[in-house]
Homo-oligomer: A and B are copies of this chain.
């Protein structure tokens, strides 16, 4: 199996080998990856579920529960585990192997790790592309699990149709890495370890924080669960279904399509800027040097780049 057409057909038929090949090509940005994504884009069907929260919040346990739940409904489940701090991309890391233990032999579950290496559109671009591959292969939902809650995770969470923010009581060190204001990224806030004594305090704090949200925004539902004990999970699945039902499939797919166009325009635009920078100034380093020594201003450099670009457009018969 080597031709682009073979890979596309393989993915659409749900071949695990074809999916793995397509993911590698997409992550590495090989020359035909945009052809693959072009074909697969129209085949995507299901929803993407983002799971984020501080380390130690029990996200992996919850994801395991979620996999079991959707497998019981006879749905195939894709999982993308995103770790912005990891330079590795693709393949199964140790964490995955532990995570997938209970689902290791289940061909209806596909788990993939994403690190920060490669891809023009950064980690969020790579994750977006990978989620389309899994979706086109029939995995539904595609679960995007992130580690931590920094800027990178917020971007990744924004890719999902529904985002779950997982918090736990007695946070101590854990919450040190939780940014204040992160509440806003959750469509549903999951208070995990509901059997812990600090759960009431956490819920008060979360609800007080939600009060501070701008009045125009929709307040997320807050659901208590204990992922380990399996309590409250039915409420959570129902909340996910409610949220999913609040948008039509057409709305969801249109939103993601226009968002993807805008991101690709941005990625292309930055590429053009960098290419022009290389053409006119041998790259960014020389341009920064010129600015920091006071030889040129960023405005003069920007203007030269625009002029060079305009020259090229004129050359090509555009107005």
In the complex the two chains form, is A291's CB within 8 Å of B38's CB? Answer: no
- Which of A272, A301, A303 gathers the greatest number of chain B CB atoms within 10 Å? A272
Partner of A273, one of B39, B176, B254, B269: B269
| Binary interface encoding of chain A residues 172-191 relative to chain B, with 1 for a CB under 8 A from any of its CBs, else 0 | 00011111111110000000
In which size bucket is the chain A interface? 35 or more
For A211, what are the chain B residues with a Cβ–Cβ distance below 8 Å? 176
**A179 with B214, Cβ < 8 A, contacts A265-B274, A303-B38, A315-B315 known:** yes
In angstroms, Cα B178 to Cα A73, docked, is 42
In the complex the two chains form, is A313's CB within 8 Å of B279's CB? Answer: yes
Number of copies: 2
In the complex the two chains form, is A257's CB within 8 Å of B298's CB? Answer: yes
Q: Is A311 an interface residue (CB 8 A)?
A: yes
Closest Cβ–Cβ distance, residue A34 to chain B (whole Å): 4
B-contacting residues, A279-312, CB 8 Å: 279, 287-288, 291-292, 294, 296-303, 305-306, 308-309, 311-312
In the complex the two chains form, is B309's CB within 8 Å of A272's CB? Answer: yes
Q: Is A277 an interface residue (CB 8 A)?
A: yes
Closest Cβ–Cβ distance, residue A222 to chain B (whole Å): 14
B-contacting residues, A196-231, CB 8 Å: 209-215
For A264, what are the chain B residues with a Cβ–Cβ distance below 8 Å? 298-299, 301-302
Nearest residue, chain B, Cβ from A317: B279
Q: Is A252 an interface residue (CB 8 A)?
A: no
In the complex the two chains form, is A302's CB within 8 Å of B265's CB? Answer: yes
Closest Cβ–Cβ distance, residue A168 to chain B (whole Å): 14
In the complex the two chains form, is B301's CB within 8 Å of A261's CB? Answer: yes
Q: Is A316 an interface residue (CB 8 A)?
A: yes
For A37, what are the chain B residues with a Cβ–Cβ distance below 8 Å? 297, 299
Q: Is A88 an interface residue (CB 8 A)?
A: no
Q: Is A271 an interface residue (CB 8 A)?
A: yes
Q: Is A232 an interface residue (CB 8 A)?
A: no
In the complex the two chains form, is A254's CB within 8 Å of B292's CB? Answer: yes
In the complex the two chains form, is A179's CB within 8 Å of B177's CB? Answer: no
Nearest residue, chain B, Cβ from A295: B42
Interfacial residues, chain A to chain B (CB-CB below 8 A): 34-35, 37-39, 41-42, 150, 175-184, 209-215, 254, 257-258, 260-261, 264-279, 287-288, 291-292, 294, 296-303, 305-306, 308-309, 311-313, 315-316, 318
Please provide the 10 A-B residue pairs with the shortest distance between their CB atoms, ordered closest to farther.
A181-B181, A269-B269, A41-B297, A264-B302, A261-B298, A312-B312, A269-B273, A265-B273, A37-B299, A38-B299
Known: A176-B211, A261-B302. 14 other contacts (CB 8 A): A34-B302, A37-B297, A42-B294, A180-B209, A181-B183, A254-B292, A258-B292, A264-B298, A265-B273, A268-B269, A268-B306, A269-B271, A312-B312, A312-B316
